[in-house]
Amino acid sequence: MQQRGDIAVQRAQVRVTNTSDVPVTLVSAIVESAALTAPAGGDTARPLRIGPGQTTDVPVPLTGLQCTDADGSPTVRLLLRDGGVRVETVHPLDDPLDVVARLTAERCDVEAVASVARVSASDLSPGADGTAELVVSIHPTGVAEAGRLELVALRGTPLLRFADGASSALGVSVGPDDAPSTVRVAVTPLRCDAHAIAEDKVGTLFDLVARVDGRKVVVPLERPRAVAEALLAFTARTCGLTP
């Protein structure tokens, strides 16, 4: 499964339930799948004691996701400590929410966009009218056979919207041999409650709607940490939550 805070950092949770009548200690969880270039996970941040009938979620980074149509049915290898005995077990992973399939499809879409151009939020310039200008940089790859990329729109986040609504039309056509360019859109806070900003997980992660050779895709708009922090600071300042 994925929690809200897992999305931006490309992570999932393995939910482990102790169905025995004795406590065990979990010290390692490793996920394997055809959707990963290498096994994911490893030692837990600290040993996790799981009592009889108890359940715990173990975070596993999925940084090795790849675009593939191979069977991505995952398994998990758990290393447990039961008293003084170390026990390794392997289990198939249920995936009722199709997390692996969804992330694999998203990876294919990200690679399709990246084959034509790198599209990212590169800068933020706050204005005096309660909006800030978000700069989206477009750097074509120069790979001639990559086809064309249509940048259709940006979608807002739980924290930010655009000056002209919940989404902002882009209407930009990009070829792999085009010169680098930029698009500028005005953003403004969608909400100003302090806890929403303080507990933000995906509030600075805009969705990019695009077409690659006519196929519609929706991918996260890449943004460096500095831009994410600037967006949060702008929101807090515009909402009057900072001195």
In the chain the domains, ranked by start, together with CATH numbers, are 4-97 (2.60.40), 105-238 (2.60.40)
* Mean residue pLDDT across the chain: 91
How is residue 90 written in tokens?
């392997």
pLDDT, residue 172, reads 96
- Tokens 């108890």 appear where? 54
pLDDT, residue 147, reads 84
Cβ–Cβ < 8 Å for 154, 162: yes
Q: 15: which strand partners?
A: 57
Coil/strand/helix, residue 131: coil
Residue ranges, the chain, pLDDT below 50? none
pLDDT, residue 186, reads 97
| Secondary structure element (H or E) that encloses residue 237, with its range | helix 225-238
pLDDT, residue 72, reads 62
DSSP 58-90: EEEE-TTB----S----EEEEEEEETTEEEEEE
pLDDT, residue 160, reads 95
pLDDT, residue 100, reads 85
